[in-house]
Every structure is written in structure tokens, then in C-alpha cells.
Amino acid sequence: MIDADVLYQQAVAALRRARRATYRLQLGSALAFEAVAALGPYLDALGVSDVYLSPCFRSGPGSSHGYDVTDHNAFNPELGSAADFDGMAAELGARGLGLILDVVPNHMGIAGDANPWWLDVLENGPASPRAEFFDIDWTPARVALLLTARGITRVRPLEGGIDAWLAHNFPFVTEDLVKKSL
């Protein structure tokens, strides 16, 4: 169990630390936790005081940016394990380098079946205990379209229904074309 007083004292001490320069690293398949740890000597020699990491929590499979987080309670396995993260933090800390994490609490990815909260909302609608975490307007009586932008999901009523929206946005999709594809 984490002692809140100890955590608070650590946070206060970290905020008092002098900062000279921050170096941002984009984590991904070519730069995981162990590779960041190996950069410690280089970053120290540059005079960097803090390393800012792009999101490192579980994201959609193959995410190129990490902003499509599907679980804020687990590290992205494509970047390494919790032990790898701890090793990286220890290596950077041993050189006096601070670590800044981009936790993106306002972003959630909905890729495939990777986000159990989103799947629960799709299955249970407004009755889902997770429904309030998504910006969904449950009141429109008309057909709605789910729109996603950078992992943020919104529901927007379609003027004229789904057929009008499809005809406007995909005029080349005709009824005959749909029948042929079935």
C-alpha cells in the first residue's frame, strides 16, 4: 500500500528540484523503456535535467503516439513491463534526471476490443457505470453517428437520418453496390 504522506513528501521534493532543460521523447516500437534508460548518459552530458515521455500507458495495438490510451492502470506492453519502467526511472534518477509523464487523462482509445470501458458502454448504454466517462448525448431521438477524434468519442444526431448522411458523404455508394457486396 502506498503511504500518502510519503508520496506527498516525494512530490514536494520533486517540485523543488531545479530544472535546466527538458528533453521530450516519443515512445514507440523504436524507443521503449530500456532504450530510454540507455539514453541516460547522453541526456546527462547534454545538460538535460528532466526527461518528458509521451504517453506510456496501454494503448491501441501498434499505436504510433500513445494518446489512444485504453487502460491508465497498465503500461503499454509494447514499451516494456513495470520492471522495465522502474529500471528506466532508476537509471535516469541515478544521473539526477527527473521524469515527466504525459498521462493524458482526457484521451481514451476505442480501437477494436482493447478498451473494456468503451465496450461496456456499447453493451449497456447509459446504464453502464462507465457511461459518464464519455461525452455522449443520450437524448437525441434520431439516429446518431459515433465520431472519434484522437480517441475522444462523441455522439452527434444525424440530420435526415443515416441514409441522408451516407448519401451526402458517400454518393458513390448506391443501393445496387451494397447489394452486390453482400
Q: Would you state the pLDDT for residue 95? A: 96
Distance CA 125, CA 115 (A): 15
Q: Residue ranges per domain, the chain?
A: 16-101, 135-181
Q: Which CATH class is domain 16-101?
A: alpha beta
C-alpha cell at 87: 529500471
User: How do residues 141-169 score in pLDDT, each as one tens digit?
Assistant: 444 444 444 444 444 555 555 556 556 65
DSSP strands (E only) in the chain? 22-25, 50-53, 57-59, 69-75, 98-101, 144-149, 152-157
Which has the closest alpha carbon to 76: 64, 89, 92? Answer: 64
Q: Would you state the pLDDT for residue 48? A: 96
Q: Would you state the pLDDT for residue 103? A: 83
Task: Show the low-confidence residues of the chain (pLDDT under 50).
Answer: 141-155, 181-182
**Has this prediction a pTM greater than 0.75?**
no
Torsion sign (Cα): 10, 13, 15, 17: negative
